[in-house]
Amino acid sequence: MKKTFDLSDDRSFSSGDEVRRLQDRLLAEHLRYCRSHSPFYRERLGAFPDRDYDFDSLQELPTTSKRDLAEHNEAFFAVPGNEIADICFTSGTTGTPCRIVYTASDLDRLAYNDACGYRAAGMRPGDKVLLTCTIDRCFIAGLAYYQGVVKFGAAAIRNGLNTLESHAEVISTLHPENIVGVPSFLAKLGRYLAEAGIDGSCVKRLICIGEPARNRQMELTPLGAKLEGFWPGAVHSTYASSEIVTSFTECSARCGGHPPADLAVVEILDEAGNRVPDGEVGEVTVTPLQVTGMPLVRFRTGDVSFIIPGPCPCGRGTLRLGPVLGRKAQMLKVRGTTLFPGAFFNVLDGIPGVTEYFMEVSGTALSDEITIFVSCREGKTPESLGVAEKLYGRTRIHVPVVAVDPAAARQRVFGVSRKPVRFFDLRKN
């Protein structure tokens, strides 16, 4: 198994057939490694023929769920303790925190992964990159963003989870060409710069993390449009998770996220676990390649998206993943209508005067009850902004809208996680 990674390894501009042959070879190596080093897969795959599997035959093997990770956490560790270089935590479907472990090789793989993404987005060696996300609190993505900048040959400005004033000072004095951050925070930063009369035109690329900036039609969401209002043509969406150790970053064509050619095999599955054709929506299922610490096979992420059909204008032979439309666990069923929280969030993002919001969902398995909590700019109320009417106009569902204090809303949204949390599930199964 490979121990180091270099940008010269990237074969993303190979043809689609060449990318598939590369992935089939790495997949066979990956499965052999899982059988010999992972206690979980030694048992799970023991009932299946010990032979090489390619992309087509991979679907003969079982999937891995987040519940599997939570219930058999240590059985996934494929290296002895003295080879573990980093440990982070994620929550399984049972609510039990489970460890994700990385070897030194895995950390170098992460750096390579993000460096490939930065290059795809158009970043250049020698650029400056403002990081508005934390590198502590076991946030592996923050470490990956930083190490990717270094491996790419750019300069990181690790300002982290800081104030708008602090980031504005960095922008006005150091003039970074790139910012990595959560779209909702970057929108606040853009508005702050505009209202303070600070020139932010040095910023050419926004690497958007944690929240989608495009919709099912690959158009900018209202939040994405806000960002483009401050920084035209700058938005590049990404998708990643701690478990899959791989990210999907939009290239200069900005029409879907590419994974590096040698790091992931991706499937989109329906409820029954069958693959769906490109363009159809299903659960993102990833087999991360060349992972040594905690390798996974056909990991069901719980995220709902689709593969964009056809080649990308950028010339890469890798697939393009569309935006995450929601999480399976957050699917809502309200009076016969099925939808995701994003349907409401996109409306709220497009209402000037709304400063923060979150959703609480209660009820039973038969029907969900939704309440939207909204804070507004001084002098405004949800009623005066027509929030309830605009939500109904888009979703055709009447939901209660409750006004909350801005400070209380910020605490609710940003006080429980490294990323903004706007969905709170109080349902009884």
- Which residues are registered as beta bridge partners of 205? 178
The mean per-residue pLDDT over the stretch 130-157 comes to 93
Contact 69, 98 (CB under 8 A): yes
**Residue whose token pair is 């089939």:** 24
Over residues 198-249, the pLDDT tens digits come to 999 999 999 999 889 999 999 999 999 999 999 999 999 999 988 999 999 9
Residue 365 has pLDDT above 90, yes or no: no
Over residues 144-196, the pLDDT tens digits come to 999 999 999 999 999 998 999 999 999 999 999 999 999 999 999 999 999 99
pTM as predicted: 0.87
pLDDT band of residue 2 (cuts 50, 70, 90) is: low
pLDDT band of residue 355 (cuts 50, 70, 90) is: very high
**Residue whose token pair is 């969905």:** 423
Q: What is the mean pLDDT of the chain?
A: 93
Least confident of 115-119, 269-273, 395-399, 416-420: 416-420
Domains present along the chain, CATH in parentheses: 1-325 (3.40.50.12780), 331-425 (3.30.300.30)
Cα distance between residue 353 and residue 348, in whole Å: 10
Cα distance between residue 250 and residue 229, in whole Å: 19
Cα distance between residue 158 and residue 170, in whole Å: 10
Contact 132, 169 (CB under 8 A): no
Long-range contacts of the stretch 395-398 (C-beta < 8 A, 24+): 395/337, 395/339, 395/343, 395/344, 395/347, 396/337, 397/334, 397/335, 397/337, 397/339, 397/370
Over residues 74-103, the pLDDT tens digits come to 999 999 999 999 999 875 444 567 899 999
Q: Using CB atoms within 10 Å of the CB of residue 186, give its burial: 0 to 12 exposed, 13 to 18 middle, 19+ buried.
A: buried
Cα distance between residue 251 and residue 116, in whole Å: 10
Cβ-based neighbour number of residue 82 at 10 Å: 6
**Residue whose token pair is 């920084």:** 231
Q: Using CB atoms within 10 Å of the CB of residue 69, give its burial: 0 to 12 exposed, 13 to 18 middle, 19+ buried.
A: buried
Buried b (16+ CB within 10 A) or exposed e, 306-344: bbbeeebebebbbbbbbbbbbbeeeebebeeeebbbbbb
The residue count for the chain? 429
Contact 306, 212 (CB under 8 A): no
The more confidently predicted of residues 67 and 137 is 67
The mean per-residue pLDDT over the stretch 344-371 comes to 89
Over residues 239-277, the pLDDT tens digits come to 998 899 999 999 999 999 999 999 999 999 999 999 999
pLDDT of amino acid 418: 64
Contact 289, 304 (CB under 8 A): no
Residue 331 has pLDDT above 90, yes or no: no
The mean per-residue pLDDT over the stretch 110-135 comes to 96
